[in-house]
Amino acid sequence: MLSYSELKKGTAFILDGEPYEVEDSQFVRMQQRKPVMQTKIKNLITGKVVSRNFHQNEVFHEADIVGKEMLFLFAHRGQYTFIEPGNPKDRVVLEEAMVGDVARFLKNNLPVTFLSFEEKIIGIRMPVKVEYLVKEATPADKGNTVQGATKEAILENGLSVQVPLFINPGDVVAVNTETGDYSERVEKK
């Protein structure tokens, strides 16, 4: 059992029969009132984020979220195929609605983690940074060296991202999957 004071960022708990994860929490005590935990919580099934205050008399069950390592194989007609590493015969096919926003970051043989609650897949956790090969990048304009200048680049999986002017086709860049932004150029090996 979790008390209201244990609802810290990253904690998964059950509320109204569904799993939630705390995205932000702050302990607040106003004058002559009982202390509360102000939180922003995310429903792990629907993805909806809500603000909610919890009081000291509330207790919760911890959500048992199970992670399973998988490899992304390919996408075809709105279906995404994954395999278990070391067991290519064990394929899992997910619909586009289930994969959600992370679909734009998927590339062949990318390791991901399936998140399950009560033996039902509720989401996919991506690595924080993923490396991609730059397929297309517009050439940098001479004289356009204003600090922070960027240009658009198309990556190997079709993702479009803003990159610094020095990035060229054939470079490998890391992209932050939480923000969708360019992170760094990866050194060529």
pLDDT, position 145: 59
Q: Residue 6 phi/psi, 5° resolution?
A: -95, 5
pLDDT, position 143: 60
| Of 41, 45, 79, 46, nearest in space to 60 by CA | 41
Considering the domain architecture, whether residues 121 and 135 belong to the same structural domain is answered as no
Considering the domain architecture, whether residues 147 and 173 belong to the same structural domain is answered as yes
Question: How many domains are there within the chain?
Answer: 3
pLDDT, position 131: 95
Considering the domain architecture, whether residues 34 and 73 belong to the same structural domain is answered as no
Q: Mention every residue, 6+ apart, whose C-beta is less than 8 A from residue 37.
A: 4, 5, 7, 25, 26, 27, 28, 53, 54
pLDDT, position 139: 81
Considering the domain architecture, whether residues 134 and 114 belong to the same structural domain is answered as no
Considering the domain architecture, whether residues 146 and 114 belong to the same structural domain is answered as no
pLDDT, position 68: 94
Domain boundaries, position 144: 129-186
Q: Mention every residue, 6+ apart, whose C-beta is less than 8 A from residue 54.
A: 4, 7, 36, 37, 39
Considering the domain architecture, whether residues 76 and 54 belong to the same structural domain is answered as no
Q: Which tens digits make up the pLDDT trace of 89-110?
A: 889 999 988 888 899 999 999 9
Considering the domain architecture, whether residues 133 and 180 belong to the same structural domain is answered as yes
Considering the domain architecture, whether residues 79 and 58 belong to the same structural domain is answered as no
Low-confidence spans in the chain with pLDDT less than 70? 141-148, 188-189
pLDDT, position 147: 61
Cβ-count burial of 130 within 10 angstroms (0-12 exposed, 13-18 middle, 19+ buried)? buried
pLDDT, position 146: 59
Q: Residue 75 phi/psi, 5° resolution?
A: -120, 140
CATH code of the domain containing 133: 2.40.50.140
Q: How far apart are CA 23 and CA 26, in angstroms?
A: 11
Considering the domain architecture, whether residues 58 and 73 belong to the same structural domain is answered as no
Q: pTM value? A: 0.78
